[in-house]
Each structure stands twice: as structure tokens, then as C-alpha cells.
Amino acid sequence: MAVFHTQDISRKSFLVTGGAGFIGSHIVEYLLKNGADKVRVLDNLATGFNANVELFRSYPQYEFINGDIREFAVCKQACEGIDHVTHQAALGSVPRSVKDPVTSNEVNINGFVNVITAAKDAGVKTFVYASSSSVYGDEPNLPKREGLTGNLLSPYAVTKRTNELYAAVFHKLYGMKVIGLRYFNVFGPRQDPDGPYAAVIPLFIKGIKNGTPVYINGDGGQTRDFTFVENAVQANIKGMLAEGEAAFGETYNVAVGDNFSVNFLYNAIGELLGNAQPPLYREPRSGDIRNSLADISKAGTQLGYAPAYTFLEGLKVTVEYFKGK
């Protein structure tokens, strides 16, 4: 595991909301393995997993609260005595939000306001939160730059853009040191391959590995800036430990700065698994964008972010992980 910080964190306390989930559990792992004084997780296990809690039970500095961010009292309890917060708890998935916008709104907007308010009241030093590349909507220009967004295309995108608006207001109004991270198609070990809203990479790996039908939405020519999870961890760590005032009150792209088509992704996984099974094509998904590619220079300048893994390096690690499952 690469080390992404230089400060001593042995006396610092951290809250990771959604810490039993995919990205959250990797942040938890980094903090624990690098000697953080306290790592508290708040998760209701709606999309997170008890297995990701049990992974860290042996660490004495690990604490788990089974609770829902839609309850302010729970958020208040979780933020007590905490120095740094990384807010990962959310209902992900564009299709899920299209099917059920009410619940996505309750969790991703109401829950966000609860957590950031509780963090403000507790006097936390920094507050980092997960945004999404979906906020770029129909903005056609590539690469995506933070200052240029288009019309939003899904309820999920609306929730993430609303988070950014709230964070900017909390920064200006209360002087909170907030940082938003616009994730681009994060993937890696422990990402859920099951269920109706499974992400594309674990879904492809599972299907190709098991020889079951694998579907590609649309023609597969759509491109994504696939981002290995350790790169997202790096951005969170550097965000929570940022010291320059200019870094705060901003949003940053978290990606690699390179894009690949879904067809390329499928074939690369097939090669790594030694299986040339052809995919099945179907209608494009509602709310999806055609192409995505991030300009990561702002995160590099302000946070010192530099991807430690390319797409293919991360894909190899991910396929090896799922081979053992």
C-alpha cells in the first residue's frame, strides 16, 4: 500500500461515513494501517457489508456505529470528538435514482445536510465529501474541467450537485474547511458484483469468469475515465490533511486523466481471465453520458494528487482479487 501523507496521524481521529461500503472501506483500511488514533465508521449497511466491518474489528482504534445518516442525532453522535470527516455514505447508481428519486434524495441530500451540520457543530477540522462526475451532465467538452458543467441528466446527479452547493455555502457562511471530490468511475477490490445496480467492472469480471451472459448497454463505444480505488483513497487522505487555505471550498476531479471504451474494458478483462466469450449488446441506459474524461490538474496543483495506478494496473489487481472469490 502506497503512503499518501507526510503528517503524523497517530493523534488524529477520523470519521468515515459509508465506511462499510466499497470506497469507504478502502479509506478505513488506509487510515488503520497507517496508525490513525481513531477511525470511526458510520454505516447502516444498506449498501455496505458487514464483511467490511469484520475486516477491521481486530484494530483497537476502530469503532463502528450502525446508524443512518438520515437521523441527525446519529450523525451528531458520530462526529463527537472527530478531527477529520470523509463523507462517503450515499445511495449510488444513476439507474437506482431514476427508478426511485425520493429515496436517493432523502439519503444523498437530507443525509448530507445532517452530516455536514453535525460536523460543523462538532468543530471538525476538515470535511471531505464524495461528489461525482455525473454533475457534468450534458456538457460536451472533453476533458471535463471543474468550472464547466452542463444540464444534469439524472436525480443522482442532482443530489451530488446539491451537495456541492451546500458545501460551498457552509464554507462561506461558517468557515468550514470543505473539499468535494468528483469521482470518475471508481473500481477495485470489494466492489459489489451482485444486485440490479452492480458496477460494470465487477459485473463483467463475474460474468466472464463464470461463463454467464454479459450485457453491454449501447454499442460499447462509450468511454470512461476508469479510476482505481487507491487513487480515490489518495484524494481523500490528501483532502482531509490539506493545509493550504486555497484548497478549501472547492471541488476536484478524481480520476486518471485517460479514458477507455467499454468494449476495450470488456476485452481487457477477457484477456486477463483467459476467456474470449463475446458480450451481448442491448439498449443504452437512461441518464448515461456518452464520453467521460477528466482534467485532474486542479487536484494536482491544490492537493498534490497524482494517480498512483493507471487503469490497466488497477484492473489487473482487481481481476486477481475477484479470481479468488
Catalytic residues, by residue number, are 156
Tell me how many degrees the CA angle 259-217-25 measures, rounded to the nearest 5.
60
- Local structure of residue 294 (DSSP, 8 states): B
Q: Is 311 helix (H, G, I), strand (E, B) or coil?
A: helix
Tell me how many degrees the CA angle 282-198-24 measures, rounded to the nearest 5.
150
275 Cβ contact list (under 8 Å, min separation 6): 208, 209, 211
- Whole-angstrom Cα distance, residue 180 to residue 110? 17
Residue 264 region by backbone torsions, left for phi larger than 0, else alpha for psi between -120 and 50, else beta: alpha
Residue owning grid cell 483500511: 29
Longest dimension (CA), the chain: 56
- What are residue 187's DSSP bridge partners? 228
- Whole-angstrom Cα distance, residue 302 to residue 307? 14
Q: What is the sign, positive or negative, of the torsion defined by CA atoms of 270, 24, 135, 311?
A: negative
Helix (H), strand (E) at residue 228: strand 227-228
Compute the radius of gyration of the chain from its Cα atoms: 19
Grid cell, residue 117, equals 451540520
Residue 97 phi, psi (nearest 5): -70, -30
Alpha-carbon torsion, ordered 19, 22, 27, 28, to 10 deg: 40
